[in-house]
Structure 1
């Protein structure tokens, strides 16, 4: 019996923030296109986008020290910080457009203003932070950043962190009040509610098993309906694979040349969450420290005020761990299954190169609760064991590929789009800054995969995202206008004043 294929224009795999963002953009740019979504879990935003599976930081390089490196001459390179900040400004603009257009409502349910701070100890680190502050504070994107190495002032900024601190070691921090806490789980669910109202067909508990090219150039997606145990076949002109850690195995199934010589290394995470409301109320901010020697960038310790289900929460972490799963709900055979003849050399080269990382992960896995408390006390000297519980965060799969700069088996830290030469299929791989830069990344997908439509879509994109195609650093007046208008639309302006 021949199989029945159901044809559509666009298929989105995975109901996370990336698919939600791409679907929302396409519905504004090509409302007549038919879109189908397939998600193996029961709801949207349940894996990497879920509020408990990520740090909830609106990553804009305000506090993350790994986006500003020190050059050999001692100067601070802020180019990556500028790039990440400008990308987050695109997200703010698109979210504001959706709110102003009544396509999503109640922005306070997904975004809140939170001061972003960097905190360092030791003479060398304080010197670095001071240089970083000078380099950033002269840039319009980082206007309003403050620096202090005065313990009295720091006690006003971060009382919980300064209370009980007995070390005579120099300590310093920067603070900027325009940072944000973003509940990407809530945002994802809002966007999928919006897509559903636009007649997008969203299929939960549908697991994609295979993707292959048909003779007429379409992509055929083999889907397992978990509820009915039936197998379905859907074809589309364009497929986006936005399945978090599950994207790599699906990309490999496509067989496109661009999927070759790419591997993935899974890293799991844990957060400590405070269960004492009195302690939670003593801290207000996202405070990022400096990664320890040998630790990967995604393991930078930070103490975060979070807003989850409209409740103020305090998290510390992340503590890295290792699991062979590519998704929190994945299989223990995910890593082994991702090793193919075309990437085995790449994977082996990465294994040889990344021995310090492997050692670090083993040490993290072996940490006892008391050892984690010791790390927490570097931030909160008076932290009590009974006030803190453990939450298992999401899985992240770091991209491994061969690069000209670093050779075979290079571990990439960041977010990467892989697309076919003809633009008919694309996949999102990697991790942080991830969700914060979803709009930038999905605009990149549009540019790569729909170049023939970009001219006709240009005016609409500029309506949704006024700074599209422009440098905000080079247009400070536009930057000021955008920051003011998006803060007002997203309900950040009044709260920013209240907290300052």
Structure 2
């Protein structure tokens, strides 16, 4: 049985944080637009945006060492850290706007203040961290960062990490109290509840099977409704593909030339979660270490306090792994089905280039629980196996494309791919992803709705006061916005909330 449904202005595919953010922004800009959402699963935020499918959320480059690198002359390249920090501040401004206008409520459900720390061992790493600290702490975006290589001070900062630790090699950490923990699953659900109140047509258990361009320029989306066991056809002027790992397949089906010569490399993840409340209470910070040689950037080890369902949790990971699925709920044929004549050489080149990475991922899959516990003990020396359980996190699909660095280059980060006429766009990639969602969706809007930008700009600036401005270069505006978002989001300092 099939049924043709009337057209929409916008179709959003996937109900994660990206679609939720884009839908919310567009409804603010154009309240009369008809927006339709299709989600394969039964409720929003169940794949990459789910709180148990990612960890370390709240990326602001405060502690992630892979966002800074040491140049040949010994100086620190801060460009990526600055970019990500400013983008996260854009997200915070937008969330503040929603709260101030009663569009969402109870910020403590999705964001909590939490110190962010970097922790390293060994003389070379301590030297690098000190250089990084000196570079970042002179930047207004990273104001308040502290550095210490004194084990006694570190015992004050991270007692669980320093407990029973032998300090027979140099050790150092940086700490900044203005960090946060963000539950993007909870935020995604809040945003979709808001969109439902705005008469957005939300369709769960609807699997998008195909996308094609009609002769009238409209996009036709073929959808299987699992609830009624029927095929539906929906049309829209603009389609956003925000289906996580599944976005690549749908982009390919659209047939746009911009989607050619692009492939995907799936990476799965595992985390250890502490089941002992006494241990959970001894740690309150996100503590990031350095990635092992050969590990992808998303595999930087970190020990994180998380607030999930208003309950404090403690997670360690991630342990990378390999699965051919593009979604946690995907098919084992996802990777094979993504290989097309137009990207075959790109994928083969990537396979040749990334043999060490593939070997690393296979080794990670083969780790026993005790081997994983030994990696955890680099952070918590006296960690006991019975206090920790293993959970499977979400799937990430890293972009593979031809770049100036060569054919089949593996990309790390998020990437927007859109048609030249702006009628369709897809989001590919992974971390820092959710934390920069608002900035990424503004990029989608600028690329896909250039004719409306002048008209929309005043409203965008109302939602995001720093829109079009570098906060780093305007420290007074930075201080003003920081004070406003801290108050609206309830981000009193950890010391103040005891």
- Compute the TM-score of the two structures, normalised by the length of structure 1: 0.99
Partner residue, 1:358: 358
Partner residue, 2:21: 21
Partner residue, 1:411: 410
Partner residue, 2:307: 307
SS in 2 for 1:127: helix
Partner residue, 1:165: 165
Partner residue, 1:277: 277
SS in 2 for 1:250: helix
The superposition leaves residues 48-67 of structure 1 with CA deviations (integer Å, 9 ceiling, x where unpaired) of 00000011421110000000
Does residue 486 of structure 1 match 2:479?
Answer: no
Decide whether the 8 Å contact of 1:56 with 1:184 is kept in 2.
no
Structure 1 residue 264, shift from structure 2 partner: 0.1
Decide whether the 8 Å contact of 2:2 with 2:231 is kept in 1.
no
Partner residue, 2:82: 82
Partner residue, 1:466: 465
Partner residue, 1:475: 474
CA distance in 2, matches of 1:428, 1:317: 25
> For the structure 1 residues 246 and 23, does the alpha-carbon distance in structure 2 shift closer, same or farther, using more than 3 Å as the test?
same
Decide whether the 8 Å contact of 1:178 with 1:496 is kept in 2.
no
Decide whether the 8 Å contact of 1:113 with 1:496 is kept in 2.
no
Structure 1 residue 2, shift from structure 2 partner: 9.5
Structure 1 residue 308, shift from structure 2 partner: 0.4
- Compute the TM-score of the two structures, normalised by the length of structure 2: 0.99
Structure 1 residue 166, shift from structure 2 partner: 1.4
SS in 2 for 1:237: strand
Structure 1 residue 418, shift from structure 2 partner: 0.2
Partner residue, 1:261: 261
CA distance in 1, matches of 2:464, 2:496: 25
Structure 1 residue 498, shift from structure 2 partner: 3.0
CA distance in 2, matches of 1:337, 1:487: 46
Partner residue, 2:189: 189
Decide whether the 8 Å contact of 2:324 with 2:333 is kept in 1.
yes
Structure 1 residue 493, shift from structure 2 partner: 2.2
Aligned ranges for residues 74-113 of structure 1 at < 5 Å? 74-113=74-113
Moved over 6 A (4+): none
Structure 1 residue 202, shift from structure 2 partner: 0.2
Partner residue, 2:422: 423
Decide whether the 8 Å contact of 1:484 with 1:493 is kept in 2.
no
Decide whether the 8 Å contact of 1:5 with 1:234 is kept in 2.
yes
CA distance in 1, matches of 2:221, 2:153: 58
CA distance in 2, matches of 1:493, 1:379: 27
Aligned ranges for residues 198-217 of structure 1 at < 5 Å? 198-217=198-217
Structure 1 residue 6, shift from structure 2 partner: 2.1
Decide whether the 8 Å contact of 2:113 with 2:493 is kept in 1.
no
> For the structure 1 residues 134 and 456, does the alpha-carbon distance in structure 2 shift closer, same or farther, using more than 3 Å as the test?
same
CA distance in 2, matches of 1:26, 1:435: 18
SS in 2 for 1:340: coil
CA distance in 1, matches of 2:53, 2:75: 35
CA distance in 2, matches of 1:41, 1:5: 21
The superposition leaves residues 121-169 of structure 1 with CA deviations (integer Å, 9 ceiling, x where unpaired) of 0000000000000000000000000000000000000000001111401
The superposition leaves residues 4-28 of structure 1 with CA deviations (integer Å, 9 ceiling, x where unpaired) of 3421100000000000000000000
The superposition leaves residues 364-412 of structure 1 with CA deviations (integer Å, 9 ceiling, x where unpaired) of 00100000000000000000010000010000000000001x1100000
Aligned ranges for residues 382-397 of structure 1 at < 5 Å? 382-397=382-397
Partner residue, 2:336: 336
CA distance in 1, matches of 2:207, 2:129: 47
The superposition leaves residues 406-427 of structure 1 with CA deviations (integer Å, 9 ceiling, x where unpaired) of 1100000000000000000000
Partner residue, 1:225: 225
- Count of aligned positions: 498
Structure 1 residue 494, shift from structure 2 partner: 5.4
CA distance in 2, matches of 1:310, 1:56: 16
Decide whether the 8 Å contact of 1:56 with 1:183 is kept in 2.
no
CA distance in 1, matches of 2:354, 2:480: 45
CA distance in 1, matches of 2:167, 2:365: 29
CA distance in 2, matches of 1:347, 1:271: 29
RMSD of aligned Cα (Å):
1.0
CA distance in 1, matches of 2:2, 2:226: 22
CA distance in 2, matches of 1:153, 1:494: 19
Q: Where do 5+ consecutive residues of structure 2 fail to align?
A: none
SS in 2 for 1:332: coil
SS in 2 for 1:304: strand
The superposition leaves residues 285-314 of structure 1 with CA deviations (integer Å, 9 ceiling, x where unpaired) of 000000011111000000000000111000
Does residue 378 of structure 1 match 2:369?
Answer: no
CA distance in 2, matches of 1:413, 1:128: 22
CA distance in 1, matches of 2:268, 2:294: 17
Aligned ranges for residues 40-119 of structure 1 at < 5 Å? 40-119=40-119
Partner residue, 1:456: 455
SS in 1 for 2:134: helix
SS in 1 for 2:102: coil
> For the structure 1 residues 496 and 221, does the alpha-carbon distance in structure 2 shift closer, same or farther, using more than 3 Å as the test?
farther
Structure 1 residue 116, shift from structure 2 partner: 0.1
Decide whether the 8 Å contact of 2:177 with 2:494 is kept in 1.
no
Decide whether the 8 Å contact of 1:220 with 1:234 is kept in 2.
yes
CA distance in 2, matches of 1:15, 1:56: 21
CA distance in 2, matches of 1:100, 1:37: 26
